[in-house]
Amino acid sequence: TCLESILNENIPDRTFPETVNKTDFESVLVLAQNIADNHLRPYANELDIASVPPYASVQMIAQSGLLGLTTPMKYGGLEAPGAVVRRYTEIMSGACGTTTFVQGQHLSACTLIATGENETLKEQTLPSFAEGSRICGIAFAHVRKPGAPVLRATDQTDFYEFNGVASWFTGWGIMTDVLIAATLPNGNFVYGVI
């Protein structure tokens, strides 16, 4: 892999030869270490100062199957226990903080969706998120902002209508989807995948 392709290609179509073994978490961590040592660490400094997101490195992780780490097996994920997710994060962040931060947004989104109550949403999103064919970022930091909500939602019976602005979306340009939150009139939050 050359640095130019990592920095300039918009989710390249190359494939990563190794994929996860869904029944062996040790092999998951070995694969993560291989990616970290051989494909992330050599380019970490360049990725950290680049003016573009780490398209190719996130796509490589997606192709390996590691983006399914936090998704339940029922939806095609690995359903890794917390200790494995923590070790995975330690391995990846030790190699490239930028890549780890961006792909971590996907893992967080999958966890939030999987622990939610909307079974239809889980069935419609989690299988493709787990296999990495769709990558989900998050945009909900704005709900913690003091003052009037910047993104509001109203219940329209069959759907929620979102109005306003989410000023920050981690993974813009890489992600195909976003898990976004808005404030309801009663002060509660509603999350949606767009």
Q: Give the count of beta carbons closer than 10 Å to the beta carbon of residue 28.
A: 24
pLDDT at position 171 is: 79
Pairing of strands 189-193, 160-164: unpaired
Per-residue pLDDT tens, the chain, 194 aa: give them: 443 443 444 333 334 445 665 568 999 999 999 999 999 999 999 988 888 888 899 999 999 999 999 999 999 999 999 999 999 999 999 999 999 999 999 999 999 999 999 999 999 999 999 999 999 999 988 888 889 999 999 999 889 999 999 888 877 789 999 999 999 999 999 999 99
Task: Read off the pTM.
Answer: 0.84
State how far the Cα of 24 lies from the Cα of 2, in Å rounded to an integer.
31
* Model pLDDT, residue 20: 61
Greatest CA separation for the chain: 52
Q: Which two tokens stand for residue 46?
A: 């360049």
Dist CA 151 CA 193 (whole Å): 15
- Hey, which residues does 161 pair with through a beta bridge? 154
Residue in 162, 144, 145 with CA at minimum distance from that of residue 153: 162
